[in-house]
């Protein structure tokens, strides 16, 4: 009788502990979605933001909004236990509403360096109450980055790279300093051709010719939105640059290129191989 009672108590405790650990998670950036998945919590993600397309299943998850803005109502409708958001995405008003609804909000800062990437992984793991798994994943990522750094070191090329963010010809921006693109270009052994400004600024033909990049880099969807390589080469001023003359128009998956999370080493190697 005592043995049966013990087993029942043990089973009840195990169930309650498991239930306490179960979370309904919302991730509000592609990097956060990817990291939560890599930490083993993918099945608990109930909704994501519009940028989350990797892993493949993330593209099929419900979106909390149709654009990059989020509302408290949209988030609360999914009854999450935890919301993970990048810095400066959630307004104070939305933050207050989420906390009033009893929803835990964790804002994760991201820095576009190797050290920043490892810290990012650890921050996400801490938000999930699994620091041990975060440390393990950070070590794996550090090893992958170290391998990528060796590969980059074997390629002596150091091209000037101009990143062009495009959503058709109506929306074209170039990436300056303090961006993930600037960070990945440098880690992959290149130099950012866009100098003298931070963040993004509108693309102009004059700035393109003045920068004279060796490589023009785009997200895969950006290249497609402009009609492909042949169309870009016909854009005003492109053939006056080294990139245009050598037809060095490079595309990469956006999440991989700009993510700065567990696949950083892979991104470094892929980009460096395209020089």
What's the confidence (pLDDT) of residue 11? 46
Q: What is the pLDDT of residues 114-152, one digit of tens each?
A: 999 999 999 999 999 999 999 999 999 999 999 999 999
pLDDT at 7 over 50: no
Per-residue pLDDT band at 21 (split at 50, 70, 90)? low
Q: What is the pLDDT of residue 3?
A: 52
Give 80's contacts (C-beta < 8 A, 6+ positions apart). 23, 24, 25, 26, 46, 47, 103
242-264 pLDDT tens trace: 999 999 999 999 999 999 999 99
Whether the CB-CB separation of 165 and 222 falls below 8 Å is answered with yes
Cα–Cα dist 136/224, whole Å = 38
pLDDT for 214? 98
Residue 231 pLDDT greater than 50, yes or no: yes
Residue 2 has pLDDT above 80, yes or no: no
* Mean pLDDT over the full length of the chain: 92
Q: Where are the alpha helices (DSSP H) in the chain?
A: 2-21, 30-36, 72-76, 92-100, 114-127, 131-153, 180-187, 205-211, 220-225, 229-233, 242-245, 254-258, 264-273
Burial class (CB in 10 A: 0-12, 13-18, 19+), 125: buried
Q: 70-113: per-residue pLDDT in tens? A: 899 999 999 999 999 999 999 999 999 999 999 999 999 999 99
pLDDT score of 17 more than 50: no
Burial of 237 (0-12, 13-18, 19+ CB in 10 A): middle
Q: Which domains does the chain have, with CATH numbers?
A: 20-149 (3.40.50.1980), 155-273 (3.40.50.1980)
Structure tokens at 104: 């835990």
15 pLDDT higher than 70: no
């Amino acid at each position: 009788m005592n043995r049966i009672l013990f087993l029942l108590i043990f089973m009840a405790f195990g169930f309650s502990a498991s239930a306490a650990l179960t979370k309904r998670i919302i991730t509000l950036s592609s990097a956060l979605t990817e990291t939560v998945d890599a930490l083993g919590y993918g099945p608990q993600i109930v909704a994501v933001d519009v940028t989350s397309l990797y892993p493949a299943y993330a593209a099929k998850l419900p979106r909390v909004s149709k654009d990059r803005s989020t509302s408290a109502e949209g988030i609360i409708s999914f009854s999450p236990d935890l919301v993970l958001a990048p810095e400066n995405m959630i307004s104070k008003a939305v933050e207050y509403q989420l906390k009033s609804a009893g929803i835990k909000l964790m804002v994760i800062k991201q820095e576009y360096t190797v050290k920043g990437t490892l810290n990012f992984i650890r921050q996400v793991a801490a938000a999930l109450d699994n620091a041990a798994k975060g440390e393990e994943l950070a070590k794996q990522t550090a090893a992958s980055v170290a391998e990528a750094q060796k590969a980059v070191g074997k390629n002596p090329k150091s091209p000037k790279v101009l990143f062009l963010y495009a959503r058709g010809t109506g929306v074209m921006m170039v990436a300056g300093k303090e961006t993930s693109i600037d960070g990945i270009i440098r880690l992959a052994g290149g130099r950012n051709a866009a100098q003298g400004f931070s963040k993004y600024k509108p693309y102009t033909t004059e700035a393109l010719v003045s920068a004279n990049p060796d490589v023009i880099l785009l997200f895969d969807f950006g290249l497609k939105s402009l009609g492909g390589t042949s169309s870009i080469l016909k854009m005003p001023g492109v053939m006056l640059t080294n990139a245009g003359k050598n037809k060095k128009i490079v595309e990469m998956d956006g999440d991989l290129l700009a993510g700065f999370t567990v696949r950083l080493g892979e991104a470094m190697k892929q980009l460096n191989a395209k020089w």
